[in-house]
Amino acid sequence: MEKPIFWIVAGPNGAGKSTVVNHVLDKNIEVLNPDEYARNQLKSGSKSALFMGSKHILEDIETRLHANQKSSFGIETTFSGKYHLRIMHQAKEKGWMVGLLFIGTDSYEMNIWRVRQRIQRGGHYVGPAEIKRRYYRCLSHLSEGLQIADIAYVYDNTSDSMQLLVSKCLDGKLEAHARFPSWLKELSIAALENVNPVYQDA
């Protein structure tokens, strides 16, 4: 019997995490989203509602990871703190496989613009300074996330084209599926320096 997978869907605000999830992960995998919980269950996009939504989701994660009967699920996160790195370790200790679906873009300015567009459609507010802070902190955690994850996919969503850049298989091997954009090159991740290219124009 295959191990259930705990998915971390990571990316800065405005990277397009929900869009990529809908195209990449199996439709039967529930992906928990604190923002959606606040909006749909608490009927609010206020900071206090978002805080309560996050608290509820984190409690839900802990319950699922410790359950006897396990089924794959995931969590959307800006990956800007250390909590989700710790929970990845904990999930593996509890017998889960850990998957990382990481979505990046080439600039926080683009993410700020996208969040503004989302606000006009009823989405919650995130300030430009906070988006910028989370953008760089999120990218800084990619290297460790790749090390922890059993399987991983790194996408560039700068142009909403969802370009697959890197994949990690169960054997631990990393493969490059396209030339790396500047935001990924600049991270200087050691594990990606000798990654095996599998795209045709390599």
Closest CA to 106 of 197, 186, 202, 193: 186
Element (H, E) at 103: strand 97-104
Which pTM value belongs to this model?
Answer: 0.90
Judge whether 195 lies within some domain.
no
Predicted pLDDT of residue 158: 94
Residue 106: which domain range? Answer: 5-189
Give the chain's domain count: 1
Are 8 and 145 within 8 A, CB to CB?
yes
Are 99 and 5 within 8 A, CB to CB?
yes
| Separation between Cα atoms, residue 202 and residue 79, nearest integer Å | 31
What is the rounded end-to-end Cα distance, in angstroms, of the chain? 37
Q: pLDDT tens across 14-53, in order?
A: 999 988 998 999 989 999 987 776 666 655 556 676 677 7
Q: pLDDT tens across 105-126, in order?
A: 999 999 999 999 988 887 778 8
Q: Which residue has the tokens 């509820």?
A: 56
Are 100 and 1 within 8 A, CB to CB?
no
Are 160 and 106 within 8 A, CB to CB?
no
Residues in the chain, total: 202
Read off the pLDDT of each residue in 174-202 and give the average, rounded to a whole number: 90
Judge whether 184 lies within some domain.
yes
Predicted pLDDT of residue 125: 81
Judge whether 117 lies within some domain.
yes
Judge whether 197 lies within some domain.
no
Predicted pLDDT of residue 106: 95
Judge whether 79 lies within some domain.
yes
Judge whether 45 lies within some domain.
yes
Bigger pLDDT: 160 vs 145: 145
For the record, the structure tokens of 60 come out as 């839900």
**CATH number of domain containing 107:** 3.40.50.300
The pLDDT-based confidence of 94 (bands split at 50, 70, 90) is very high
Are 12 and 106 within 8 A, CB to CB?
no
Bigger pLDDT: 202 vs 95: 95
Closest CA to 154 of 6, 8, 4, 30: 8
Closest CA to 158 of 110, 100, 199: 110
Q: Which of 11-25, 51-65, 141-155, 182-196 has the lowest mean pLDDT?
A: 51-65
What DSSP assignment string belongs to 116-180? HHHHHTTPPP--HHHHHHHHHHHHHTHHHHHHH-SEEEEEE-TTSS-EEEEEE-TT--EEE-SPP
| Separation between Cα atoms, residue 190 and residue 187, nearest integer Å | 9
| Separation between Cα atoms, residue 108 and residue 136, nearest integer Å | 8
Judge whether 200 lies within some domain.
no
Closest CA to 138 of 5, 7, 4, 15: 15
